[in-house]
Structure 1
Amino acid sequence: MTDSPEARVARMLHHRKAALQQGDPVVPPITASATFHLPHVQAGGQVYGRNGNPSWEAVEAQLAILEDAETVGFPSGMAAIAAALFATLRAGDRLVIPSDGYYVTRVLSQGFLKPLGVEVIGLPTRAYDSSDFAGAAVVYLETPSNPGLDVVDIAAVAARARAAGAVVIADNTTMTPLLQRPLDLGADLVVAADTKAPSGHSDVLFGHVAGRDAARMARVRDWRRMAGAIPGPFEAFLVHRGLETLELRLERMCASAQRIAERLAAHPAVRGVRFPGLPGDESFAVARAQMAASGFLIGFELADAGAAEGFLARCPLIEQTTSFGATHTSGERRARWGDSVSEGFVRLSVGIEPVEVLWAAMAEALAG
């Protein structure tokens, strides 16, 4: 079987089949146990709930197929990010992070890694394409950036960073392994919040780290076990179920986002539309080369904070929430979190609503 995206999805959907015995459940059971029968320590099997659990191992198997790499699950995206950073950094190291990326990663780096002796350097995402990474131990990138949707050439950045001796960590939350493959492009580790599109229903927190270096992934796994940052079995069950429809949901979300971005770009009340799938977007060429689709996130500006808040409040088909990637369309005015964007900047996450119904509601809300 060829290793096409379609083949990976098909294998993911049937990943348990080879191990099933007569009468076994097709759906992985929720194993709610902290302890396991352990008369002999070295005889294999489960040991203790902090070391492993069949429910989250089933999700890791799915994600490992999609990433084509060893995958370790975590109880949130930030738990995965923290594990990747703490597993690769030590006192005296230099960390490069995007100054316009996810703000909690910046808070973690400045508030916890810096006091432990890690030098933290913030760069705008656009600057990654021309920056000198000499002296860096870890180059952490996020593309498209959240919320500005700037895109960097992962392969070019990874090549320069690794030539400088740095480990490259890529946050692939906005794209998922179905739309963008940082490990194939030279990243050493991928981190992602599966809370978003992979689970897709706004009912669970989850994250993962993926990588192809066994020693590095052993460090990540040890961090999880020793820090106790483990996912719950019920949460793993929900993510496993969500992953089975990820490809279908993404297909509709991305197609709808393309149409809505084009219409927003032509709307008189809207300015500054950012969407990698628009030919006029500065990220279009790079995105087209390294992404299978342009994603489901759109950034755009309205006149001011009042106009943005009014639009969001008036539209009945947009949930005002700070997350993204769900079945429902969501949006928020990102400046309220202190992001370096205009006061009227809206981050829109397009869901699976019928696109013409969604656009009609948006157009009416834009009209006031």
Structure 2
Amino acid sequence: MSSRHGDSTRSVKAVSSPAIPGQPVTPPAVLASTYYLSADETSGLDAYGRNSNATWRQVESAVAALEGATSAVVFSSGMAAISAALRGLTGPGSALVVPSDGYYQVRRFVAEHLAPAGVAVIEASSSQIYDAAAGADVVLAETPTNPALDVVDVQRLATICHSRGARLIVDNTAATPFGQCPLSLGADLVVASATKGLSGQSDLLAGYVATNQPELAAAVERQRLLAGAILGGFEAWLLLRSLGSAGLRFERQCLNAQAVAMRLARHPAVRTVRYPGLVEDPAHPVAVAQMRRFGALVSFELADAAAVQAFVEGSELLIASTSFGGIHTSVDRRARWGDPVAAGFARLSLGIEDTDDLVADIERGLTAAR
């Protein structure tokens, strides 16, 4: 897809059907578990729903176009995608680096399933990951990190990994392909939860892996086939429907995040704010170099858990929920999930509300939290 197009144009073009007269502009959902078989066993036609699905292929084509990849593989969730990528690239005796300051379920997965299988697991923060990569076969980086919003220098990390033949996987969930394209910075694989910003409706679970290396795509697809972590045909269609507006939604979410982060940084009730788009944020220099937009997440700290609760209750627009990337602005107090953060640390996921309305509502919530 032409790089001269903007994000909303890219989104619309990615989900459009070929211009064939008499055919629907938007691809229909294919809901089938079994198909009529061809006498030619090498035909490559669909045969069974766990192996392939026409709607998957539409979604995979769209995701690959947005990520700047030659291929993508969709899964039933972001964790299904990440776990398939890690299983496909590691084995007994290999060394794997995972983020110590990233999504906590990833650490649980590798500790409970890969380490007992003989994979040496190394946990490293976003600042330590460059040194840790020097002794690894596979490195998983999350950038921006969840929930602290530190930014990893993907190009620097890719150079370190490739200098010793290691593979680099980048979790692009928070940034989305509208914020950054890790493959263009040297990553071997991109993994993401499409449940978040790409879906944006808070009504489905999905994930994907994208790459420009056919052998890696084949290894990941094999994991999906054997584990059966497939995306249902209807869910694939829902995701395809959502992708058409993803660029437009993300643009508004990032605009809202920047405005809210600036307001939070000036408010006396707020102890700290993290957002890569703030000039004073420690992650800003790296973010400016590799990101086109800074994302929909803002993290900040209030006095304590009670202050976060008062903040939510004092608002008219904010909802208390976990996950992120939806059209509604949500607040998640991360200590409740076991993240190593202060009791008053909260992660905002900015929605698509009008910016002025949202900033005024945040102000009301902060007044209640004081």
Q: Where do 1:227-266 residues align within 5 Å?
A: 227-266=227-266
* Counterpart in the other structure of 2:125: 124
Secondary structure of the structure 2 residue equivalent to 1:209: strand
Q: Which amino acid aligns with 2:27?
A: P
Partner of 2:23: 24
Matches within 5 A, 1:306-345: 306-345=306-345
Pairwise CA distance, 1:318: 1.2
Deviation at 1:11, TM superposition (A): 5.3
- Please say if residues 136 and 165 of structure 1, whose CA atoms lie closer than 8 Å, have aligned partners that are also in contact: no
CA contact (8 A) 2:81 2:192 kept: yes
CA distance in 2, matches of 1:121, 1:166: 14
**Alpha-carbon shift at residue 74 of structure 1 (Å):** 0.5
CA contact (8 A) 2:168 2:188 kept: yes
How do 1:282-361 residues align onto structure 2 when only pairs under 5 Å count? 282-361=282-361
2:159 aligned residue: 159
Q: TM-score, normalised by structure 1?
A: 0.96
Tell whether the 8 Å contact from 2:68 to 2:181 is kept in structure 1 after alignment.
no
* Residue deviations 1:304-348 (CA, integer Å, cap 9, x gap): 111112212332211111110011101111011111111100000
Name the counterpart of 1:89: 90
Quote the residue 2:32 is aligned against: 33
Q: Is the 8 A contact 1:252 1:352 kept in 2?
A: yes
Contact 2:15 2:244 in 1 (8 A): no
Cα distance change on mapping 1:132 and 1:197 into 2, 3 Å: closer
Helix, strand or coil: the match of 2:42? coil
- Partners of 1:170 and 1:305 in 2: how far apart? 32
Taking the aligned partners of 1:113 and 1:74, their CA distance within structure 2 comes to 20
What is the identity, as a one-letter code, of the residue corresponding to 1:286? V
Q: What's the C-alpha RMSD, in Å, of the aligned pairs?
A: 1.5
Could you tell me which residue of structure 2 aligns to residue 364 of structure 1?
364
Structure 1 match to 2:209: 209
Deviations along 1:187-216, one digit per CA (max 9) or x if unpaired, are: 100000000010100011011000111111
| Cα distance in 2 between the residues matched to 1:178 and 1:16 | 15
Distance 1:306 1:53, change over 3 A: same
Whole-angstrom CA distance in 1 between matches of 2:98 and 2:188? 15
Q: Is the 8 A contact 1:94 1:138 kept in 2?
A: yes
- Quote the Cα distance in structure 2 between the aligned partners of 1:45 and 1:12: 28
Deviation at 1:294, TM superposition (A): 1.2
Distance 2:133 2:248 in 1: 39
Please list every run of 5 or more consecutive structure 2 residues that lacks an aligned counterpart in the other structure. Answer: none
The 3-state SS of whatever aligns with 2:308 is: helix
Q: How many residues align?
A: 366
Q: CA deviation at 1:39?
A: 3.1
Identical columns (%)? 47
Kept in 2, the 8 Å contact 1:72–1:208? The answer is: yes
CA separation in 2, counterparts of 1:143 and 1:330?
Answer: 20
What is the CA distance between 1:22 and its match in structure 2?
3.1
**Contact kept? 2:68, 2:184, Cα under 8 Å:** no
Post-superposition Cα deviations, 1:20-53, rounded to whole Å, max 9, x if no partner, equal 5332222211111101111322233212101111
SS at 1:259 equivalent: helix
Question: In the TM superposition, what are the counterparts of 1:70-149 in structure 2 within 5 Å?
Answer: 70-129=71-130, 131-149=131-149
Q: In structure 2, how many angstroms separate the alpha carbons of the residues matched to 1:289 and 1:351?
A: 25
Aligned to 1:177: 177
* Structure 1 alignment gaps of length 5 or more: none
- Cα displacement (A) at 1:79: 0.5
SS in 1 for 2:157: helix
